[in-house]
Copies of this chain bind each other. A is one copy, B any other.
Amino acid sequence: MSKRIAGPEIERLIQLLAKVPGLGPRSARRAALHLIKKKEQLLAPLALAMGEAVDKVRVCSTCGNVDTSDPCMVCTDPRRDETTIIVVEDVSDLWALERATALNTRYHVLGGTLSPLDGIRPEDLNIASLVSRVAEGSVVEIILAVNATVEGQTTAHYITDQLDGMGVKITRLAHGVPVGGELDYLDDGTLAAALRSRTAF
C-alpha cells in the first residue's frame, strides 16, 4: 500500500504472506484480511501450528526427509521394506510418490541435483549417506526417481558410479506416455522412449 492505512503489524503480515508460494502481493492482502476476520478460527491456530513447526521440524539424519522426529516416520515405520530405497531429489517428490503409489519402501532425499554451473557438487548432496546406507548391507534395490532433466540424469549417473560393485540393483523410472496424455501433444523424446520401451498388450 502506498499510503499507510494500517498498523505496521498488518503490513508486515501481508509482506510475509506474499512470499508464500501460490500467493502474490494481491492475494496476500486478501489472505491477510481473511485471516484477520477469522482471528479465532484460523489465524490463531495457524500461528500456533507454524510456531510448533518452527520448534519441532527437523531433517531426518538417515534419509533427508523433513519431519517432527529424527529418524522420520518413514524411516522408523516397521511395515516398510528395508531392501528397497527410492532416491528422490526433494521432499516434495517423496510426498508425491507416497500419494501416488502403494509402495512400502524407504526413501533417500538428495536435496537437489548436481549442477556445476550453480556450484552444487556431490558433497553438497546427501550422496555419501546413501552410499553408507547401501554399505550396511540390507539394501537390494535402489530406484533412482530423479527428474528427467539433464541435471537429474547427471546425478543418477554419478550415484550409479558411486554404488558400482556394491552388489545392489539400480533401476530408474520408466519413460513413456503420461496416463491420459495425447500422443499429438507429446515431445519427440518421450514418444521415441515410449516406442522403444513398448510392452506386450
The chain A residues found within 8 Å of chain B, CB to CB, are: 1-10, 12-13, 16-17, 19-23, 27, 29-37, 39, 42-47, 49-54, 56-57, 65-69, 72-74, 91-92, 94-95, 98-99
Contacts and interface: CB of A to CB of B under 8 A. Distances in A.
Nearest to A107: B5
Query: How many copies are assembled?
Result: 2
A53 B91 contact: no
A64 to B, nearest CB: 12
A69 B10 CA distance: 11
A21 B34 contact: yes
Contact of A23 (B22, B68, B73): B22
16 contacts: A3-B98, A5-B73, A5-B98, A6-B65, A6-B67, A6-B73, A7-B56, A7-B68, A9-B52, A10-B67, A16-B45, A21-B34, A22-B22, A30-B92, A32-B53, A47-B53
Q: What are the nearest 8 A-B pairs in CB distance? A: A7-B68, A47-B50, A22-B27, A47-B51, A16-B46, A13-B49, A9-B52, A44-B54
A2 B99 contact: yes
Contacts of A3: 98
Contacts of A51: 47, 51
